[in-house]
Structure 1
């Protein structure tokens, strides 16, 4: 079987993370890198070998690739993804799928009609900490009844683009999207949601969020996210509660859990694990390549990505209108 031939669109930090992982995977061939600033593409191409370089998606198409990694800024995902899918290319798109419902609908329609495989990059699902939580839940050692999620950006000053909704699509699309995705990944389908939000230091967007979710399972969860809290450890945390049981994360470094009243607290420490593995990047890439090579399901397909995109839009709608939203009904109406 011919190896998948991969081109990368966008040569920033996250492109380098994916490129390093793919360069070590003998099942694929890294063919080219394109960036609006071709010098950036050249620097990344040099790091990973002798890949070709260009400045546009069309340049990648001319390199005889069959798979495109889209690692451009958040608000510039939809057009290249749709163009690639319409021509039958496989697409790995960094989060988010889109930054509005119209864009998400375009991607979903293109993916449904395409011969290519679509995947959304949601690496936090596969971080070692969250892998452990998922294992405890799937093995029925922990049956969630309620949970608390937190992810704070810390500040919107460095780099400056993180405070620019024209590039991020809004704070939730840049940072907190991971915890919002983990709600569904760990606790299952969402029934209802309500969000209260405010502008504290930003003059352009909400930067403080408090959310309440109910789930089809009967579980409940809260999620808080602040864009200006500083970097006090742990700025990222998940706590899941069951019957006389608790499991919690401390950023991506540790998991602590006790599964009954008489159980000691077990601690697993991942501080020694390399960045790509600890953060879930290595596993999500491996699963995506599995889908290309073996025909297995991609880790986050277009239907799953569209549900997340709808959820983000509903959270902002709730914040703006101060109303609870029946998300289960919205998903049936919007996605099917």
Structure 2
């Protein structure tokens, strides 16, 4: 006989990304999904029926009353705070989809509430769990690349107009919080700051060229780090076809490494590693690969990395003989990525660079 799962999980929000959470938790014996909820109660019931889940609710309050240990948040960006604060008040640990919030004050309240309640808060940046991303981080840490001095993140993606029209909350400041930076590039902003360190200044511009949306479909920025390193960021959803994503880091040893994701949603690959007199490289965009993939395919290919992050989170809760540890990606980590992209918005609005205080960088 198998032993019962240790952690009871509730998933809030039964939209497209909830599939990743449902499949990931199904692969982790230490946790089991016992309830789902959605503002559309019929959708919650349909999800519960499809996945063999015991309870379906129309509100977070009902879900939490079922005795939940971990809440997985899959709701639209501006609603994250309400769910996280309710979960913390109920003593439940929280895993939240990115972005943590659409403004800094909200993110900081979420982090503070979880700290005060003594519960863990993790935020999904599952691309950190790519083996290729781990390899780059190791090359920084072990001195192969050494302290980064120059970086670049290129996020050149395609979205059909139907991507925005199919969901009313997409493409507006009030319900999406931003465009390509908030929804797509935030993953790579997180990777850039994870590899290069804390950010102290951002100077950027945003524009909307192709899509009929309120928010930006194109952005560029120069980012300065506390170490003195500098990086550039370019991002768009207006490309046809998509060129995918590349992140390139040059370190103080002179070595350079590049991490690429093509097509979008595929596992990251190290497509360039140059050190000493050697250059190892492979095509960023291999021939014969369809460059434009739909959202369901992108999400589906990320399920193994959602699983890796959830497994780390569950492990963190029971580490050190039950005392726990911080998960690999915390609320403050996610707040740092949010602060960078919001600084691009502010800099574009004012025409001036945004400088972070030391307290901001370490918050």
Establish whether TM, by shorter chain, passes 0.5.
yes
Tell me, yes or no, if the aligned pair for 1:147 and 1:220 is still in contact at 8 Å.
yes
**TM alignment of 1:124-203, pairs within 5 A:** 124-143=127-146, 144-155=148-159, 157-160=161-164, 161=167, 162-171=170-179, 172-201=181-210, 202=212
Whether 2:301 is the aligned partner of 1:275: answer yes
Of 254, 269, 272, the residue aligned with 2:269 is: 254
Deviates further, 145-154 or 71-80 = 145-154
* Cα distance per residue 1:191-243 (max 9 Å; x no partner): 2111022232345223221100111222211000112122333x211111234
Unaligned runs of 5+ in 1: none
Displacement of 1:36: 1.6
Deviates further, 252-261 or 216-225 = 252-261
Tell me, yes or no, if the aligned pair for 2:199 and 2:340 is still in contact at 8 Å.
no
Identify if the C-alpha distance between structure 1 residues 248 and 113 changes in structure 2 by more than 3 Å, giving closer, same or farther: same
Displacement of 1:91: 0.7
Query: Aligned equivalents of 2:69 and 2:16: distance in 1?
Result: 23
* Counterpart position of 1:238: 247
* Counterpart position of 2:41: 38
Alignment RMSD (CA, Å): 2.4
Displacement of 1:323: 0.8
Of 316, 339, 342, the residue aligned with 1:310 is: 339
Of 48, 51, 56, the residue aligned with 2:54 is: 51
* Counterpart position of 1:209: 219
Identify if the C-alpha distance between structure 1 residues 210 and 33 changes in structure 2 by more than 3 Å, giving closer, same or farther: same
Secondary structure, in 3 states, of the residue corresponding to 2:256? strand
Tell me, yes or no, if the aligned pair for 1:75 and 1:167 is still in contact at 8 Å.
yes
* Counterpart position of 2:352: 323
Query: Aligned equivalents of 1:194 and 1:45: distance in 2?
Result: 46
Of 226, 234, 237, the residue aligned with 1:224 is: 234
Residues paired across the two proteins, number: 329
Deviates further, 38-47 or 292-301 = 38-47
* Counterpart position of 2:327: 298
Tell me, yes or no, if the aligned pair for 2:95 and 2:123 is still in contact at 8 Å.
yes
TM-score by length of 1: 0.89
Deviates further, 259-268 or 145-154 = 259-268
Query: Aligned equivalents of 1:200 and 1:83: distance in 2?
Result: 39
Tell me, yes or no, if the aligned pair for 1:190 and 1:328 is still in contact at 8 Å.
no
Displacement of 1:18: 1.2
Displacement of 1:277: 6.0
Displacement of 1:33: 0.8
Tell me, yes or no, if the aligned pair for 1:157 and 1:163 is still in contact at 8 Å.
no
* Cα distance per residue 1:291-329 (max 9 Å; x no partner): 122212112222222323322322211111111122244
Unaligned runs of 5+ in 2: 262-266, 290-299
Displacement of 1:261: 3.3
* Counterpart position of 1:88: 91
Tell me, yes or no, if the aligned pair for 2:11 and 2:36 is still in contact at 8 Å.
yes
